[in-house]
Amino acid sequence: MHEEQRSFDGTLVAVSYISTLVSLLIIPILIWVIKRDEGGETEQGLRDVMNYGISYSIYLAISSLLMIVLIGFVTTPLIGLALVIFSICGAVKTAGGERWRPPFVLNLL
């Protein structure tokens, strides 16, 4: 039974990546809180999704503030595009059973 808990649930992590397209933080937080006690690779994958959501929330907030000096009008859409691309890449990679960590993610959790 412990081996089942330690195995990587790529489908759950893929759903968590896709949920970042709807809600960058709320849905991944709920999934992580429910499954964090299981440990293993699945918990680490969900932690990667949480770090991804937090990091890109920070990047979007800073980019929005940079709209005051006009550069934010360029960086905000680029960060949004990267968010969509990395969410899809994360979902595809993890659904295949591979643990994936998006680029430019701060290790906060």
Residue 19 clears pLDDT 90, i.e. is over it: yes
pLDDT band at 2 (very low <50, low <70, confident <90, very high): very low
The model's confidence at residue 6, banded by pLDDT at 50, 70 and 90, is low
Place of tokens 């800073």: 62
pLDDT above 90 covers a percentage of the chain that reads 61
CB count within 10 Å of CB 71 equals: 11
CB 68: neighbour CB atoms within 10 A? Answer: 8
Q: What is the pTM of this model?
A: 0.85
Residue 91 in contact with residue 18, Cβ under 8 Å?
yes
The C-alpha atoms of residue 92 and residue 38 are separated, in whole angstroms, by: 23
Rounded CA separation 19/94 (Å): 14
Q: Which backbone phi and psi does 8 adopt, to 5 degrees?
A: -85, 120
Mean pLDDT estimate for the chain: 88
